[in-house]
Amino acid sequence: MKLFSSIRVAALALSSILTSGFAGAADIKVLTAGAFKPVVLAVAAEFERSSGHKLIIDNDTAGGLQRRISAGETFDVAVLTPAAVKDLIDKGKIAAGTASDLARTAVGVAVKDGETRPDIATVAGFKAALLAARKVAYIDPAAGGSSGIYFAKLLETMGIAEEIKAKAVLVPGGLVAQRLVTGEADLAIHQISEILAVPGARLVGPLPAEIQNYTTYTGGLGAASPQPEGARALLAFLRSEAAMRVLTAKGMAAAGQ
C-alpha cells in the first residue's frame, strides 16, 4: 500500500510540474510573408514542445499582410519585409523596439524536375532563357509579393517587359513553382526558399549576381498582441541556432550574411 501511495504522490507531483511549466501556454498567431513560411512550419513543432504554446500560422504576400494589418487584423508576431514593418510601426500596428531582422533570401529560377536546365550564369543567358520559354510564372506584382515587384522592374530594365508579359503566368500568392508541376509554365522566377518547397520543381540557380535581389525578412510583435510573452518567446526562438540550421536547409541565410 505504501508503494502505491508513493507512486501516486510522485505522479501527482510530476503532473503538477508539467502543468505549472505550461501554465502560460497560449495560441500564438503568426502572420508570415510566403518565403518565410517554410521556416516557421519547420520549427513549429520544436517551439511548441519547448514552450507549450501553439502556433496558428497564416501567410500571404508581404503587401497583402501589410494591408490586412493596416486594416486592423490582430496578431502576435508578423514576419514581413523591413519596409513593411517600419510602416506598420509608424502606424502603431507593430510594437516599437521589437523589430528584428531574421533572414534573407535570393531570387532564383526553376524548371520542372527532369527538364533541361537553361544556362543562366550570365545576364545574357538569363535573358535568352526568358525569351525562349513558352510560359514564365512569377508572383503578380499587384499582389504585393517582393519577388514579383522586383522581377517586373527587372524586365523593364532588360527591355523585354512586353515580350514576357505576353506569356506571363501571374500567381497571386503561394508557391510559384507549382505552376511548373502542373504544366502551366516551363520557367518560374521566385524566392529560392519557396522554390525548394515544391516537390517536382528543380532549382536551376540564383539570378546572376549583377541583377540579384535579396529580400530580408523582419519579425515584430503586434502592438495589440493578446499574448506578448509568448510572442517574444517565438521571436527569440526564430533567432536561435536551431532556427538558423533550418534557414540553411530552406535556402535562406541569417540576416546580414
Mean pLDDT of 2-10: 41
Give start and end residues of each alpha helix (H) in the chain: 2-21, 37-51, 62-70, 82-90, 123-132, 146-158, 161-165, 178-181, 192-195, 228-237, 241-249
The whole-number pLDDT of residue 173 equals 87
pTM: 0.75
The yes-or-no verdict on residue 14 having pLDDT over 60 is no
Min mean pLDDT across 24-38, 81-95, 118-132, 230-244 is at: 24-38
The whole-number pLDDT of residue 144 equals 86
256 band by pLDDT with thresholds 50, 70 and 90: low
Question: Is 53:27 a contact under the CB 8 Å cutoff?
Answer: yes
The whole-number pLDDT of residue 24 equals 67
- For 59-85, the pLDDT digits (tens) are 998 889 999 999 999 999 999 999 999
Question: Is 87:171 a contact under the CB 8 Å cutoff?
Answer: no
The yes-or-no verdict on residue 7 having pLDDT over 50 is no
Q: Give the torsion sign (CA, 240, 75, 197, 140).
A: negative
**Grid cell in block for residue 157:** 530594365
Mean pLDDT of 208-224: 96
Question: Is 31:59 a contact under the CB 8 Å cutoff?
Answer: yes
257 band by pLDDT with thresholds 50, 70 and 90: low
Mean pLDDT of 125-137: 98
- For 152-168, the pLDDT digits (tens) are 999 999 999 999 999 99
| % of the chain at pLDDT higher than 90 | 76
